[in-house]
Structure 1
């Protein structure tokens, strides 16, 4: 299976570097580049890539609004967006995660980590380390304007709520299984059911929901 990728960055040199690196991988293919937000939205609508590497600061439509447009289009639900930013906890990153991005990378990421990140996100996993997850989502929680409908979490069983708390801590399925004395397959099944019940795209959005609903508080581990 080949992972298709689109690259959005206003610097041609950055786009060219990413393209050369990713196209060299046997299981990856860059389907296009764009230097503006409008351009990447049009490219994604046309090519429907698996993963988008999204710069934030671009002329005209910025990466946050471009992310919002892509995520809000139900026909593009299979496309995952990774924000590529200069600073790890840039306020723009928080806004992008809120908009529906599946994770983020800093621009000085090592090449091997960029390649790994594309595979991780294409596979449906979140691209946030546990420590970064807690710091980032604490920022999301602090900026929450209003909690989600509390009734939304009523659809979850007690065990599913326990699993959601673990997801919010940035733990993998294997770590959740060890913490709650489950098999990894059972943990994975619980996460899949929670995603379906709450109608969210991926684990990153589950973490956002856990904080914004009040199920998890900033500073919890």
Structure 2
């Protein structure tokens, strides 16, 4: 059972998200918060696996709550849920350590898929968000190639293989199947890669893999 913390200042939105997740037998909302500060307190009390955080909330917004949550409880995967798709929110969310970014107008099944994906160690961006991220990266990909290659030079050949598959969007289980490794070993590789590259999450690692040319365009 994947335990979910839901934070949104709109009661109707929380009810809708809770109803959607409630249709899945493997997902359960264990706590609900109306602001970012309350979300942090509930995260400490309920130890969720995944936190769904609205971007705009009173007291402490979702972006700041995500940053604090990632420092206080790095084992909690964070997904940002918002009606806004401006690039500035995307950048701040990813820099803050979010593993996923969804628009509230997205498909309900997308919401469930995102929770499962980040819980399994993958990143998840809604199609609209993914398009924006790839567009930003591809716009200056070649100019950033030398710096990206220099950064990944610290990795072993196997770690570069794993990074390439992370960049392609594969989960730990899928990477394990591709490289004939057990999932725990893949998880250890990914943790080591994040540390060596000094990035906060898989999304940032994936962007770096794309910039370094480990992931083909398109």
1:185 and 1:132 map into 2 onto residues whose CA distance is 31
Deviation, 1:111, is 1.7
Match of 2:91 in 1: 94
Query: 1:49·1:79 contact (CA, 8 Å) conserved in 2?
Result: yes
1:16 aligns with 2:10: no
Match of 2:54 in 1: 55
Q: Give the direction of change, closer, same or farther, for the CA distance of 1:154–1:92 in structure 2 (3 Å limit).
A: same
2:48 and 2:173 map into 1 onto residues whose CA distance is 29
Deviation, 1:116, is 2.0
Match of 1:185 in 2: 180
1:138 and 1:98 map into 2 onto residues whose CA distance is 17
2:3 match: secondary structure: strand
Match of 1:33 in 2: 32
Q: Give the direction of change, closer, same or farther, for the CA distance of 1:171–1:77 in structure 2 (3 Å limit).
A: closer
Q: Give the direction of change, closer, same or farther, for the CA distance of 1:155–1:52 in structure 2 (3 Å limit).
A: same
Match of 2:192 in 1: 196
Q: Give the direction of change, closer, same or farther, for the CA distance of 1:130–1:33 in structure 2 (3 Å limit).
A: closer
Superimposed CA distance per residue, residues 155-199 of structure 1 (whole angstroms, 9 cap, x where no aligned partner):
31235335424533545679979xxxx944359756741432432
Segments of 5+ residues of structure 1 without an aligned counterpart are none
Greater mean deviation of Cα atoms: 94-103 or 127-136 = 127-136
1:194 and 1:210 map into 2 onto residues whose CA distance is 13
Q: Give the direction of change, closer, same or farther, for the CA distance of 1:176–1:109 in structure 2 (3 Å limit).
A: same
Segments of 5+ residues of structure 2 without an aligned counterpart are 141-146
2:24 match: secondary structure: coil
Q: Give the direction of change, closer, same or farther, for the CA distance of 1:45–1:25 in structure 2 (3 Å limit).
A: same
**Aligned ranges for residues 1-221 of structure 1 at < 5 Å?**
2-73=1-72, 76-128=73-125, 132-133=129-130, 135-136=132-133, 139=136, 153-170=152-169, 183-186=178-181, 192-199=188-195, 202-210=201-209, 215=212, 220=217
1:134 and 1:210 map into 2 onto residues whose CA distance is 17
The two structures have a TM-score, normalised by structure 1, of 0.75
2:40 and 2:100 map into 1 onto residues whose CA distance is 18
Query: 2:36·2:61 contact (CA, 8 Å) conserved in 1?
Result: yes
1:101 match: secondary structure: coil
Greater mean deviation of Cα atoms: 50-59 or 197-206 = 197-206
The two structures have a TM-score, normalised by structure 2, of 0.75
